[in-house]
Amino acid sequence: MPEADKKPRECTDGDWPCEMSGHLCHLEAENYRLKSLLADLREWDEKQWTEHRRRGIPPEIRKRIHQLL
């Protein structure tokens, strides 16, 4: 493999695929945060169901919801 092929590609203005990679990276991070929050909400919901008690959403989860919205 030639040495030039091993170098990372540098973005230039108007380079659509390269510009989109930055957006995709941001979306992947947002997707991870949302999936993590959803998992925590499901766990909290299951605990509510098994305890047969209704309590408010825990403050740490509520804070994460507000940060994402």
pLDDT tens-place string over residues 7-34: 555 656 666 666 667 777 778 888 888 9
More confidently predicted of 67 and 7: 67
Cβ neighbours of residue 12 under 8 Å, at least 6 residues apart?
18
pLDDT at 2 over 60: no
pLDDT at 1 over 50: no
pLDDT tens-place string over residues 29-49: 888 889 999 998 888 887 776
